[in-house]
Homo-oligomer: A and B are copies of this chain.
Amino acid sequence: MPSVKWALEAFVQRLAALSPLSREDISVLLSLPGEAVRLRGNVDIEMPGQGFDHACLVTSGLVARFAQLSDGRRQYTALHIPGDMADIHRVATPLAGSTLQTLATATIVRVPAKNLKRAASNSATITQAFWAYSAVDAAVLSQWAVNLGRRDAKARMAHFLCEMGVCSEHSGDGDRHEFLLEASQGQIGDALGLTAVHVNRTLKVLRESNVVAIDGRIIRIQDWPLLSAIGDFDPRYLQMDPRAVEAA
């Protein structure tokens, strides 16, 4: 049961894994203020066009970053798990118009942007860590673009499930072979650029070939090697997987 304190610690640990931080940096980051908020599913957290006052630290649940077309359809550009600071990039460019939405019930911590700015201004190593964090985020996004542009529905789904598996394992609850994915099929469609109906059919194919089993929103991956082959999945880009880091 991730607490607010846990989420902040996880975030700082991730930063430290990407870029060296001094003991003082870490204590500055751990004492960042923030207001915890609990939200139900399918709620928009930030409105586009508004000023950027607060960054969003995910504490429990799942939060999607998305962009919207003028007709209202959405495309998720990232999914954030507990321990992620979903929109820290806006500290660097407040104009960037990304917006956030909860998938299921989630609790988030609203961290004032000016405190993040100040922390970055006062420590070059913190700025570098934020930059590295944003850069990994962008690397994940570029894999997402490949998924959308060049893979068919089955491969897209397989790649997505592998990514979610590795992330869940890293976030501490569940391992990659069995984890909770708190998203409806329509929301999965917004991640994969598919309709809800086709998400359903695609999952059915994977289920019937005994690659994955689905019980409610629990995903059990029965044949990881096959699934990652179908999705052409290489976990290195996540910079999260201990097994992959070893290999490098």
Question: Total interface residues on A, using CB and 8 Å?
Answer: 50
A20 to chain B, nearest CB (A): 11
Q: Is the CB of B98 within 8 A of A128?
A: no
- Report A67 CB to chain B, min CB distance, Å: 5
Q: Which of B73, B97, B121 contacts A236 (CB 8 A)?
A: B97
**Which residues on B sit within 8 Å (CB–CB) of A237?**
96-97
7 closest cross-chain pairs (CB), A and B: A149-B193, A148-B148, A131-B131, A138-B138, A96-B139, A92-B135, A77-B142
In the complex, the answer to whether B128 meets A89 with C-beta atoms within 8 Å is no
Are B136 and A138 in touch, CB under 8 angstroms? no
Cβ 8 A contact of A135, one of B65, B96, B123, B143: B96
Pairs A–B under 8 Å by Cβ, sample size 13: A69-B146, A73-B150, A75-B146, A75-B150, A77-B145, A77-B146, A93-B136, A95-B248, A98-B142, A127-B128, A127-B131, A131-B131, A149-B193
| A-to-B contact residues, CB < 8 Å | 18-19, 65, 67, 69-70, 73-75, 77, 89-90, 92-93, 95-98, 120-121, 123-124, 127-128, 130-132, 134-139, 141-146, 148-151, 192-193, 232, 236-237, 239, 248
Is B19 touching A148 in the complex (CB atoms < 8 A)?
A: no
Are B143's CB and A141's CB within 8 A?
no
Tell me the complex Cα distance, A1–B93, Å.
31
Taking CB as reference atom, which chain B residue is nearest A122? B124
Chain B residues closer than 8 Å to A73, beta-carbon distance: 150
A89 touches B135 (CB 8 A): yes
Closest CB-CB distance, A202 to chain B, in whole Å?
15
Residue contact A142 to B139, C-beta cutoff 8 Å: no
